[in-house]
A and B are shown apart, each in its own frame.
Chain A
Amino acid sequence: MNKITDLTVHELIEKLANKELTITEITQAYIDRINEKEKDVKAFITPLTDEALEKAKEIQAKVEAGELNGAFAGIPIGIKDNLCTKGVKTTCASKMLENFVSPYSATIVENIEKENIINLGKLNMDEFAMGSSTENSYFAKTRNPWNLNKVPGGSSGGSAAAVAANLVPWALGSDTGGSIRQPASLCGVVGLKPTYGLVSRFGLVAFASSLDQIGPITKDVKDAAMLLNLIAGHDEKDTTSVDVEKKDYVQALKNDVKGLKIAVPKEFFGEGINEEVKASLEKAIEKYKELGAEVEEVSLDIAKYALATYYIIACAEASSNLGRFDGIRYGYRAPEAKDLKEIFKKSRSEGFGPEVKRRIILGTYVLSSGYYDAYYKKAQQARTLVMKEFNKVFENYDVILTPTSPVTAFDIGSKSENPLEMYLADICTVSVNIAGLPGISIPCGVDSEGLPIGMQLIGNKFQEETILNAAYTYEQATNFRNTYKPEFKGGAN
């Protein structure tokens, strides 16, 4: 087994500092790993291995010459393909943007580049981040490294699978209704969706503006805290990014949950939640009690209408956000389009996949005259209600604990014919986006098929420190990573 690619980022940094490893060695190790495993996993849309090696050599030389320092210099990363990268294709896994090269980089991408972190490539996803399985990619279906016949989850399936398969040491994803946490759960890695407004969205191709957040997908909690340190903070280009005090999230990892008040909402463990998932979560709850946390069952009866609220708001915003893909300034233009209307209609109909079109239709419908009040306005009011209900719980508790996904990784193709069933995969995660709260998914066990199960910890606004520490303490006590490893079972079908 390739030792270097097994390491977490904080371990890599340590070995770089100790001169046990060089920057080029690390990048080369990942390139070798990609060459070996990518054909099975299909995590990348645009691999940048050659460019990454060039960059690694350049940074290595600068570090050796003493022209450059910084803990993260030369660490590789994978980036979800809905984050704009100047000079490199940004496709959103869509035919619409198959050849699109952004004229600018996302603020977060700039932050990463300032640290001399090396982009190993752009990662696969559901088209325009719409989906829970990464099957809605125009380019390829990413496979779950634990079982290649299973989906990796979505929409950041490429990011989660790449981290799980050690194709990248860590990755950036985006989360609108669970798109970081659910694939992290299905791939047995750590995924954090920050509080809405903690991370700049400038340069993240919008799906649903009031719900989207960028976040880390990592091998362990400490790496998630480190990557959050690099991406959190106000950006004057995004007025919804909040000007809050800069925190050191690594400092928050105390490995101690004594006295931490954890709420377990019984409604998140009811109908539709797989028994093995439930059992695994119950063990995790016992573990927290052992570690000194105070765990209590509460009622938080929002999951059902939170999902409806989510799909109405997300699709409404998406129907508007995706209007700019009109075949005029960039992106796909239907070659046979003769007049303006044909450019619009044919380019969009041929350039978007079925799920994107489905959501545009739903979103257009709920905003259209006569239905606005019944659906969109009602959903916005329900959104207020969801926030209020969460607030009530946070009056008495620090953390809310739920499953991340009601099921473990499912078979490729098993749900793609039934959109509503696919939407139910998000039942545990969407309410967090609706309320703008931070949530983290960490692995807490495997099912009888050996597929990972994820636990979601939800915090109050801007309380990333609390959930990171809770996740870290559990992780240190259980050590999932050393117990279970993806085995690349099955495949080739």
Chain B
Amino acid sequence: MSREDYELVVGVEVHAELSTKTKIFCSCPTTFGAAPNTQTCPICMAMPGTLPVLNEKVVEYAVKAGLATNCTISQDSKNDRKNYFYPDLPKAYQISQYDKPLCKEGYVEIDTKEGKKKIGIERIHIEEDTGKLNHDDFSGGSLLDLNRAGVPLIETVSKPDMRSIEEVDSYLRKLKSIFEYIEVSDCKMQEASFRADVNVSVHKPGEPFGTRTEMKGMDSFRSIARAIEYEKNRQIDVIEEGGTVYQETLRWDDVSGKTFPMRDKEDAEDYRYFPEPDLVAIKLSEEYIENIKNNLPELPESRKQRYLEEYKLSEKDANIITSSKYLSELFEGSIKVCNNPKAVNNWIISDISRILNETEMDPIEIPFDCNQLGKLVILIDKGTISSSIGKKVLEELFENPRDPEEIIKEKGWIQISDEGAIKEVVTKILEANPQSIADFKAGKDRALGFLVGQAMKETKGKANPQMLNKMFLEELNK
């Protein structure tokens, strides 16, 4: 049998760090990148005798996330302890939720080649993040930093509904954009504030699902795609060779492009979940849930519909722009500045997207703002610069963002629109290219393009191309 005879089955558990000001069970700040152990207190360090107090925003954000993903919100919920030993888990238990998660039974809709598809969400629950182990180059040991311990997370568990890498990618991007839109998480993958445990199995269509393996803590779309591809083929090969796929936790190594088992087999997992006795029950009233529902911001799907109607964007462009809250905010903000939706759309879809892809940058990291992009469009519309200079300004905005007008002044990129100056260039180019004149006269229209190109080169792209065109035609037709 060949690999094509197998169907891929994927479910993912997404951990998103919530963008609350403080940790889930203590009042320490959650700012990323602080000096080690400076955002800690006796509670998140699990000093003896300390007790957790639940942050009200964590409950609110989780409910928001549940409502935005069509979940049922549990009115009767609680916290549980998940017990295991690891240095980054200071209490030796993680306060999580076991049998009564805050949100259950939802879905998100993704676009596939075959049309729209619902990916089921089994549950969304709240829990605390762990600390971080750093390698100590000096001694060869490990160093524990607990700044991240206790940062609030929501874990969104999908159903095993995805059948291709593309579907996994769309699902993750959709979920990420929803969380960004409702402002519960900044979803920065570089800071691991949006990361996924990916469960992969294969089976032959019509047969029961195969045994799944889990790859933990994946934090880039590219690695997720590569890892699924690798793991799918590995499992198929094991089965084809008559072997057995074991249910185990794997670690994806981006360098070698392979997965490796993560834990000793002898340490069978038994988390001994039990209700957290230090916290009281969470009982949400209908009014509480209703109130959050009524105040949900616009979600990507409805924003997309609005773009189709209001700005007449193509389905494909609207998808790209609304896939990220930051892109769509850049889009709308720039339009307010320049009043040219078509141009802004083009910039985002082509050049900006290309740069983001090339540099593996997340839209949230775009260093310039909508005023700067809007002004760039205005400068082109007014003819102050050409669109080819515009591309250079954009690159400059990514490098060192500032007012585009300042950039072009500083760089001397202002378009030459002075008739005398243009005339001078045209005369000079014509003199240097008699063959092109002859070609043009002989009916070869391409010669005009060549001459304009030469003139642009001469002026380092600054000459107004419309004026050049017009003046060359006048001269050639004399």
B42 touches A204 (CB 8 A): no
The verdict on A237 contacting chain B, using a C-beta distance below 8 Å, is yes
A326 touches B53 (CB 8 A): no
B85 touches A326 (CB 8 A): yes
State in angstroms the CA–CA spacing of A316 and B273 once bound together: 11
Among B90-98, B290-298, B312-320, B427-435, the one that faces the other chain is B90-98
B48 touches A90 (CB 8 A): yes
- Contact flag A368-B270 (CB < 8 Å), given A92-B48, A239-B280, A240-B280: yes
Which residue among A92, A237, A320 has the maximum number of chain B CB atoms within 10 Å of its CB?
A: A320
Which of B45, B47, B91 meets A323, CB within 8 Å? B91
Residues of B with C-beta under 8 A to A329: 45-46, 90, 144
- Contact flag A320-B87 (CB < 8 Å), given A100-B48, A202-B49, A326-B92: no
State in angstroms the CA–CA spacing of A104 and B44 once bound together: 13
Residues of A with C-beta under 8 A to B92: 320, 323-324, 326
A320 touches B48 (CB 8 A): no
The verdict on B476 contacting chain A, using a C-beta distance below 8 Å, is no
The verdict on B310 contacting chain A, using a C-beta distance below 8 Å, is no
CB distance from A209 to the nearest CB of B (A): 4
The verdict on B278 contacting chain A, using a C-beta distance below 8 Å, is yes
Residues of A with C-beta under 8 A to B280: 239-240
The verdict on B123 contacting chain A, using a C-beta distance below 8 Å, is no
Residues of A with C-beta under 8 A to B93: 320, 323
B48 touches A84 (CB 8 A): yes
The verdict on B51 contacting chain A, using a C-beta distance below 8 Å, is yes
Closest residue on chain B to residue A343 by CB atoms: B87
The residues in A between 273 and 331 inclusive whose CB is less than 8 angstroms from any CB of B are 316-317, 319-320, 323-326, 328-330
Which of B45, B144, B274 meets A320, CB within 8 Å? B274
State in angstroms the CA–CA spacing of A344 and B87 once bound together: 9
The verdict on A335 contacting chain B, using a C-beta distance below 8 Å, is no
The verdict on B239 contacting chain A, using a C-beta distance below 8 Å, is no
- Write the A69-109 contact mask toward B (1 if CB under 8 angstroms, else 0): 00000000000001110000010100001001011101000
The verdict on B420 contacting chain A, using a C-beta distance below 8 Å, is no
Interface size class of B (residues with CB under 8 A): 20 to 34
State in angstroms the CA–CA spacing of A326 and B45 once bound together: 12
CB distance from A273 to the nearest CB of B (A): 31
State in angstroms the CA–CA spacing of A206 and B274 once bound together: 16
State in angstroms the CA–CA spacing of A376 and B45 once bound together: 28
Residues of B with C-beta under 8 A to A205: 48-49
A209 touches B277 (CB 8 A): yes
- Contact flag A204-B45 (CB < 8 Å), given A323-B83, A323-B92: no
B49 touches A206 (CB 8 A): yes
Residues of B with C-beta under 8 A to A56: none
Closest residue on chain B to residue A242 by CB atoms: B280
The verdict on A210 contacting chain B, using a C-beta distance below 8 Å, is yes
- Write the B267-300 contact mask toward A (1 if CB under 8 angstroms, else 0): 0001010100111100000000000000000000
State in angstroms the CA–CA spacing of A82 and B49 once bound together: 8
The verdict on A367 contacting chain B, using a C-beta distance below 8 Å, is yes
The verdict on B467 contacting chain A, using a C-beta distance below 8 Å, is no
- Contact flag A240-B278 (CB < 8 Å), given A202-B49, A320-B83, A340-B87: yes
The verdict on B81 contacting chain A, using a C-beta distance below 8 Å, is yes
State in angstroms the CA–CA spacing of A97 and B87 once bound together: 18
CB distance from A17 to the nearest CB of B (A): 35
A368 touches B46 (CB 8 A): no
Closest residue on chain B to residue A84 by CB atoms: B49
The verdict on A42 contacting chain B, using a C-beta distance below 8 Å, is no
The verdict on A487 contacting chain B, using a C-beta distance below 8 Å, is no
State in angstroms the CA–CA spacing of A202 and B81 once bound together: 19
The verdict on A203 contacting chain B, using a C-beta distance below 8 Å, is yes
State in angstroms the CA–CA spacing of A206 and B51 once bound together: 9
B51 touches A97 (CB 8 A): no
B48 touches A102 (CB 8 A): yes
State in angstroms the CA–CA spacing of A178 and B46 once bound together: 27
State in angstroms the CA–CA spacing of A276 and B280 once bound together: 43
Residues of B with C-beta under 8 A to A193: none
Residues of A with C-beta under 8 A to B277: 208-210, 240, 317
Residues of A with C-beta under 8 A to B52: 239
Which residue among B48, B92, B93 has the maximum number of chain A CB atoms within 10 Å of its CB?
A: B48
Closest residue on chain A to residue B26 by CB atoms: A237
Closest residue on chain A to residue B42 by CB atoms: A104
The verdict on A364 contacting chain B, using a C-beta distance below 8 Å, is yes
A330 touches B272 (CB 8 A): no
Closest residue on chain B to residue A238 by CB atoms: B51
B270 touches A369 (CB 8 A): yes
The residues in A between 228 and 242 inclusive whose CB is less than 8 angstroms from any CB of B are 236-240
- Contact flag A103-B83 (CB < 8 Å), given A240-B278, A369-B270: no
The verdict on A201 contacting chain B, using a C-beta distance below 8 Å, is yes
State in angstroms the CA–CA spacing of A319 and B277 once bound together: 13
The verdict on B54 contacting chain A, using a C-beta distance below 8 Å, is yes
Residues of B with C-beta under 8 A to A328: 87, 90, 144
Closest residue on chain A to residue B264 by CB atoms: A341
Residues of B with C-beta under 8 A to A317: 274, 277
State in angstroms the CA–CA spacing of A321 and B85 once bound together: 12
Residues of B with C-beta under 8 A to A344: 85
- Contact flag A97-B48 (CB < 8 Å), given A320-B83, A320-B92: yes
State in angstroms the CA–CA spacing of A209 and B51 once bound together: 10
State in angstroms the CA–CA spacing of A376 and B277 once bound together: 13
State in angstroms the CA–CA spacing of A85 and B470 once bound together: 88
The 25 sampled A-B contact pairs (Cβ below 8 Å) are A102-B42, A102-B47, A102-B49, A103-B47, A104-B47, A201-B49, A201-B51, A205-B49, A206-B49, A209-B277, A209-B278, A237-B51, A238-B51, A239-B280, A240-B279, A319-B272, A320-B272, A323-B91, A324-B90, A325-B48, A326-B87, A328-B87, A330-B47, A367-B83, A369-B270
- Which 3 residue pairs across A and B have the least CB separation, nearest first? A323-B92, A367-B272, A210-B277
Given contacts A239-B51, A325-B48, 12 further A-B contacts (CB under 8 A): A82-B49, A84-B49, A92-B48, A102-B42, A103-B47, A239-B278, A240-B277, A319-B272, A320-B92, A324-B92, A329-B45, A329-B46
Chain A residues close to B by CB (< 8 Å): 82-84, 90, 92, 97, 100, 102-104, 106, 201-206, 208-210, 236-240, 316-317, 319-320, 323-326, 328-330, 340, 344, 364, 367-369, 372, 376
